[in-house]
Amino acid sequence: MAATAGAGFDREVRSDREQTVGERLHQPPGAEAREELGLAPPSAPPSRWSLRTLRASVATLADYSLSGVWRLLQRLHVQRRRLRDHLYSPDPDYSTKVAHLERCLREAVRWPQDVVLLFLDEMGYYRWPGGASDWMLAAPGVSACALHKAGSTNRQQRVIGALNACTGQVEYLDNYLVGRQQVSAFYRRLDHVYPLARRIYVVQDHWSIHHHDDVLAALRQAPRLEPVWLPTDAPWLNPIEKLWHWLRRDLLKGHRFADDWPQLRQQVNTFLDQFAHGSPALLRSVGLVGDGHLAYVLRSA
């Protein structure tokens, strides 16, 4: 009986200690961490936790070795992870615009024959490849391999695209630049791609070209197209941004086509063409299917 009671007491003490550690990790390091590192009082505490500073900041860990603190963190499923950017939109009408986007998404789900919702955006890429890591044999005396760059100039190509929120269908137009003429032409193209839709919502950001008089005139000539304005500086609400990320990651970073500009353009077009008839895999990849906010809105429509 005594042994059982002792074991129960030990478990309770261990549970309290683990809870204390978990609560402390939700706060930034403080004065104890600063003293542990020998920093003068006027200086700020360290910005991130270490095994040493955590041990110094939690009284119940005072008799732990550093390896003991590490094992405790493993038991709590606490690991070192890359810090994520804290995304914030300064738009005072953020909530109103998000609510409008959600209403439009629900309409597209409830009346798929009549309503289409498209996420629109532009991106650019260059003749010279972007930096990237790759597997390769280590050469003696060489610490890094150079990216292959060819041609006298680093040419740029622009792409404007639209992603169907319900099917994953992608329409795009590429050119050496995307200005008001190209945006207007793309609107007219979207108007022809969905001839049976009663309304076509075009979700887009506040790029100045989108508000140009010529572009707004092109929209008036296609009355079925209705712009849905995203909040300022809120790319996380535009899933086509993740398609661009996929394209850059798998094709453009470290590419081998610097000396063959037409072939590089063809590779980009081929990548986008695979979504010409829709793609469930693309919807999952960009967060329109799954556990994300926009996926939840679509699922609960």
The C-alpha atoms of residue 155 and residue 170 are separated, in whole angstroms, by 25
Q: Is pLDDT at 7 greater than 60 in this prediction?
A: no
Tell me the mean pLDDT in the region 195-223: 96
**Packing angle, helices 2-25 and 66-75, rounded to 10:** 90
Tell me the mean pLDDT in the region 83-100: 88
Q: Is pLDDT at 152 greater than 80 in this prediction?
A: no
The C-alpha atoms of residue 255 and residue 274 are separated, in whole angstroms, by 19
Report pTM: 0.74
Q: Is pLDDT at 142 greater than 60 in this prediction?
A: no
Summarised one tens digit per residue, pLDDT across range 157-186 is 999 999 999 999 999 999 988 999 999 999
Question: What domains can you pick out in the chain, each with its CATH number?
Answer: 12-75 (no CATH), 94-132+152-299 (3.30.420.10)
Q: Please give the pLDDT value at position 287.
A: 96
The C-alpha atoms of residue 281 and residue 298 are separated, in whole angstroms, by 16
Q: Please give the pLDDT value at position 22.
A: 78
The C-alpha atoms of residue 204 and residue 215 are separated, in whole angstroms, by 13
Which residue spans within 13-95 are E strands per DSSP?
none
Q: Please give the pLDDT value at position 132.
A: 74
Summarised one tens digit per residue, pLDDT across range 47-60 is 899 999 999 999 88
Tell me the mean pLDDT in the region 15-42: 84
